[in-house]
A and B are shown apart, each in its own frame.
Chain A
Amino acid sequence: MITIAWMTVREMVRRRFAIAALLGTLVLVALTGWGLQHIHTIHKQHGHALSPLEIRAVTAALVPLIAYLFSFILAFAAIVLGATMLSAEIESGVLLPVLARPISRGAVVVGKALGLSALLCAYAAISGGLEFAVIDAVTGYQPPHPVAAIAALAALAIVMLCLTLAVASRLQTVATSIVAVAGFGVSWIVGIVASFGPVYHNETLLRIGVVSQLLLPSDALWRVAVYQLQPAVLVATFGLSGWPGPFFVLSPPPPAMLAWSAVWVVAVTAIAVRSFAARDV
């Protein structure tokens, strides 16, 4: 298992995927820094520049958007990596001599899951850390709980990875990617729709949202991440009226949802292991 996990990490590094991802992220971070720089040049109607407080307020509203971008990158990276490291390796035959070794199918799946999770977490930490550092340097704004937000985004990536591996244990690369992207997309849209629930006090919408989050906790984890990025002032200001959509979260999913996400990851990995163990290769 450790051998497989280590091999997975080595593959990413040796094939320069890791370095490519980091370079791409550097460009992205630089672009957001350059964009935020422009807040300084916004002038109020009567010609005065924004005060530092106002700059921080505008930035606070923009940070969830930037986090959103990173959540997409992480989710799609998890899907692509999961599909290529399992489906594609079965299709190409690279896995055949490996599976003939004295190693269980479960160790192969879990090893790959661990290796890829470690990479996704490392990527989330590095890119998130860089991004928040640049935001701070340019605007002087620091979101309240950046580390917790990054952890929630990493957890989102792990959730998508586990879903992808479970599907990849049976389907081919392209089909796996489609199913995983569709799952992510549906959970995302249902999350947005359900966010109107509290605003209109609609029980059905609320319930649909919870069911969707139970089935695939990716959107729940996104909401946890956003909540960690919102300053208390903002929550207090908009708190009474409520604010639907993915960028503002009044009440984050309860801690039980976090516990459920952990259970979900373990359960779906177990499904992936069982399904892979039973298949012909």
Chain B
Amino acid sequence: MSKEQEYLGKCFSQYYAKWQPPISHVERREFGFGNWQTKIAFRHLSFPNSGALSARLMRDAPPYVSYSAAYYEFPDARPMPNKNWKGADLIFDLDAPAHTCGKFTCVECMGKIRGETIRLIEDFLVPDFGISKDEMIVNFSGSRGFHVHVTSESVHNLRREERREIVEYINAASVSVKTLLHDDSRFIKEDETRKKVYKFYGPLVTDGGWRGKIAKRFLQLVREKKLHEIGIPKKKAQELYDNYGEVENTLKAPVKRMDGGVWANWTRIGLSGVYGKMFEALVENTKVAISADMDSNVTFDTSKLLRLPDSIHGGSGFAARLCNDKGHTLFGKPTPKIEEFEPHVHAPVFSDEPLKMKIIEEVPSVLLRSGQMSEKYAKDALIEVPHYFGIYLMCKGAAILA
């Protein structure tokens, strides 16, 4: 183990000395610890209670701590079926996509993924599925994203297929524009020339599910003057911005289609033939991009382990802090709300004491806890920085103790 890893271990151990895990039913969860080489080096661990878990974390100070969203009768049994699955929380894992900021995740990347997480909660979980915010834990992953845990009993017994259905609803994999938009356009003969008469029926803002989502999103894009996001040309967009009231009335007025269905007459928005393309763009714009990858999805694969909230992430030295306001505190500090959550400000947990370091890899300017930006550091620079920031640089492998 390097000098730095030893030093970090000591810091993590001190952190866990006064720490309590913010999750329920510790005794029924499986835990996994990582080392400096791999994020989950040992799994199938179990602890009889919170105290035993924190004592073990203080002793071993692992750089990564994961736990199961699943509840088991025998969390330490192997192989998996012997654990006897008793249910699982419903988990959503949102990660910022790759960007030039690389391992020093930038403020814009965090802002984007924070926005997606808020949309997952405010546009899907609460209004559609009727899940209350009291039934959720939201936490920063410690790295580039957020985790949402729905912990209420109503989700515990959801089977894999049902969890998958939920994912495919949210990431729009199961959404088909054909069910959202009806093209009843036809040709008529007028003064000896054939002329196309457009007729498009689409969702009403008062509709439930994806239908209503699409109509509401369109209206929101008009209100916020963001129609460029779905490829509407400038001139047409301006026209709609100027007539917001009319657009709203159109999408609120129920009309009967030939088949008896009740729809809004989208033809009146005046986009002639481009509705199909625009609806595709609207779906993309409205969905929350949760990956449905077989090998990494934590929502439907309940045997996967995920970051333990409030534990230290060895890749940043940040705490995977809770960020929804349920009165939880971390060492007396109240939980920040996700809307205001800024990892570089809220997730460092170590002191401001000065620490001397040597830079071994170029470091860009990053956000500091104070809200200021750090300097850029060149390779081989000798610097003195706050303790928490030194830990961040060591965890990133960008600096060593001087």
**Are A and B a genuine interacting pair, yes or no?**
no
Q: Which residues of A contact B (CB under 8 A)?
A: none
